[in-house]
A and B are shown apart, each in its own frame.
Chain A
Amino acid sequence: MLLPFDVEKSHDATRLIVRGSLDINTAPALAEEIDRIIEAKPGKVDVDLSPLDLIDSSGVAALVKLYKGIRSSGGNIAIKGARDQPLAIFKLLRMDKVFDL
């Protein structure tokens, strides 16, 4: 299965680009990567959701896990670029304000 994400790492920052459909079928693979990202304790994480077409509650849960994990270790995280269906889901769940989407 084509992984629905790319990870770009620099000195103290990580960029996660999520594309396609982040759902119950694809979120487990991302969750494994999220565990690795959190473990590395980067100072800054940028999440780019602009190539993301669809998301379900499993995908949202994965991103919430990343958000909480980075913040709890003192890092900064920015989630940007959500549009269409994913943005509608974040707004419905009232996470758009928390994520500053």
Chain B
Amino acid sequence: MADKITLTVPGALRYRALAVRVVSEAARLVSGSAQRDEQDLLADDVRDPFDVAVVSAFMEIFNNVAIHAYERDPTGHMEITITPGACELVIEISDHGRPFDPTLVPSLPTDWDAHSLPEGGMGLHIARTMLDDVTYEPGPPNRWRLTKRFSTATEPRAVRT
């Protein structure tokens, strides 16, 4: 399996698509999924459940760092280390922004109707539910560690913080 992939990007939202591209390709290394259109390698083509889980979770954590840790200040950086394994993908993200306490993020209700649909607070829930393990250590540097194992059911799992 491939060696570690490291990427340093400014902690600003305009760099998110670039980071997502790298992460989605790393997910393909583990899942073995094929590009839908090999003539359009830049398409946002994420279909395999493993790739979907990894990319969806990463997007939310990137948002979290850029908006909450760096408070939209584009001068900070994010160091992203991706480790593709035979049966899992591990993504570590470190930043030097403001730490936060994930335990203070309220859980989403388990059920809702047309009137009570949530309009916020979904990001961390998506990351937690899509992945097998999410850990966060406040810094500096703050460290996220996201783990998705291959051939496991995509079920809600506990989050260690």
Contacts and interface: CB of A to CB of B under 8 A. Distances in A.
A84 B33 CA distance: 13
B117 A57 contact: no
Contact of A61 (B13, B17, B112, B120): B120
Interface string A76-101: 00000000110011001111001000
A50 interface: no
A64 B119 contact: yes
Nearest to B53: A88
A94 B119 CA distance: 13
Chief secondary structure at chain A's binding surface = helix
Given A68-B115, A68-B117, A53 B44 contact: yes
B56 A88 contact: yes
Nearest to B111: A94
A67 to B, nearest CB: 7
Size class of A's contact patch? 20 to 34
Interface in B83-138: 108, 110-115, 117-120, 122-123, 125-126, 129-130
Contact of A95 (B52, B115, B117, B120): B117
Nearest to A68: B117
Contacts of B17: 21, 25
9 contacts: A24-B63, A53-B46, A54-B46, A57-B120, A84-B46, A84-B52, A89-B126, A98-B112, A98-B114
Interface of A: 20-21, 23-25, 53-54, 56-58, 60-61, 64-65, 67-68, 71, 84-85, 88-89, 92-95, 98
Interface of B: 13-14, 16-17, 20, 43-47, 49, 52-53, 55-56, 59-60, 63, 67, 108, 110-115, 117-120, 122-123, 125-126, 129-130
